[in-house]
Structure formats: structure tokens, C-alpha cells
Amino acid sequence: MREILGRRRRLRFRRKERTVQLDAALMCATEWDWPVLPGVGLKTTTRTSGGVGCACPDPQCVVPGAHPFDPGLLAATTDERMIRWWWSRRPEAPIVLATGGKAPCAVSLPAAAGARALAALDTMGMRLGPVVATPTRWSLLVAPYGLERLGELLYAKDSVPSSLRFHGEGGYLLLPPSAAGTGQVRWERAPLEGSARPWLPDVEAVVDALVEASTGAPEGGSRLAY
């Protein structure tokens, strides 16, 4: 009887430990084989009008709460035990995807341009993968690409708005459900439930629409909004 009661207590304790962030991080790492790690997160501060700022030491951080700090990006892993340990220490920590390699890459652009680009791609009948959204930026997940391949693709364009950001090898992206200085991170297009691993389009298939949508955005898409 003591053994059964002890087991029940342990199970209740484990259930209490679980958070939405932990469940999402485990899904990314163990089901989809995407390497993740906890982001730095936010802290209460008097330096900003909203009362929150980045938990890192930089008071002028340009991506508050939305980047790795400790551990660093190279620690990203798909190991279940490591992920459980990280989020047991910081249950509400943001989820950071280490992009590139065998993991997804991404192309992000200002939110208004992102909505315009998705509408154009839908009209074309383009099959899209997951899309991550914040109040300021949308990010389309794409199949892994190398810098050489990306460089050749962009070289063929007349111009590329500076508001486009490319998250490839050595980069990172905040995944839902996370919160950053710009607001809540959510799925604009969520991965299909029950899929072994989310399908991803090639970057060539979407970059034309993203460039065109960014160019047509206010200020010519030249303003980089995080």
C-alpha cells in the first residue's frame, strides 16, 4: 500500500510540474526532432513603459525575452531528459528553436506584409507549412537551406527589403506558446495535429511572394521591426 501511495504522489507531482511550455517543447523535440532550448524570458522593470523588459543584462536588448542566454544556442537539443530539467527549473520559459541543420529554417517579415504574403500564396494554391506570428512579425517555416543556396536565390532579385529576416544555420526563432517583449507568440498556421513531423516548403517556393509583399509594405518594407 505504501508503494502505491508513493507512486500516486510522484505522479501528482509530475503532473503539477507540467506546463504548456514543457508540453510544447517536448512535442517539438521528441515528436518532430526539432532542437530547442529555453529562451531568456522577461522580467519586471521600471525602464520601459510596459513594465517588463528582457531578463538578460543588456538594458537596450533589441529582442527582449526572445533570445537564448543561459544556456546558449549551441545547447539546443532534442533530449527529453534535458528539456524536462530545463523547464522544471523555469516552467514559463519561452521555447527557442535552433534553426538550420536538420531543423526547419524560417523567413520572417513584418506582420502586415506577412498577412499580405499568405493571402497571395493561398491564391496561388501554394502549400504552406507552419507559420509563427507575433504582433509585429510573421515567420514562415521552410525546409532547411544553406547560406550558399540562399545567397544565389537573393542575388537573382532586383532588390530585397531589409525588413526580411532569414533564420538559417546558427539562427533561432521563438515558438508558441511563448511571450516576448513584442507580445504573445502564436501559430497563425499551426502544424497539423497527428502529423509525425510538420511538412515544410522549400524557400524558393515562397521567397518571391515574401519579397513582393515586403516591398509593397509601408515605407517600402525597409523598416526592420522585431
156-169 pLDDT tens trace: 888 888 888 999 99
Higher pLDDT, 199 or 213: 199
- Is the four-CA dihedral 162, 42, 187, 150 of positive or negative sign? positive
Domain that holds residue 87: 6-221
Q: Residue 49 pLDDT > 90, yes or no?
A: no
Measured between its terminal Cα atoms, the distance across the chain in Å is 56
- pLDDT band at 18; cut points 50, 70, 90: low
Is 226 contained in some domain?
A: no
Please choose, from the candidates 41, 148, 42, 37, the residue with its C-alpha nearest in 3D space to the C-alpha of residue 99: 37
- pLDDT band at 50; cut points 50, 70, 90: low
**pTM, to two decimals:** 0.85
Is 1 contained in some domain?
A: no
Identify whether the C-beta of residue 18 lies closer than 8 Å to the C-beta of residue 25.
Answer: no
Q: What is the mean pLDDT of the chain?
A: 85
Is 188 contained in some domain?
A: yes
Q: Residue 36 pLDDT > 60, yes or no?
A: yes
Is 202 contained in some domain?
A: yes
State the total domains in the chain.
1
100-133 pLDDT tens trace: 999 999 999 999 999 999 999 999 999 999 999 9
d(CA 150, CA 204): 9
Identify whether the C-beta of residue 142 lies closer than 8 Å to the C-beta of residue 202.
Answer: yes
| CB atoms near residue 86 (< 10 Å) | 20
Angle subtended at Cα 80 by Cα 197 and Cα 167, rounded to the nearest 5 degrees: 50
Is 121 contained in some domain?
A: yes
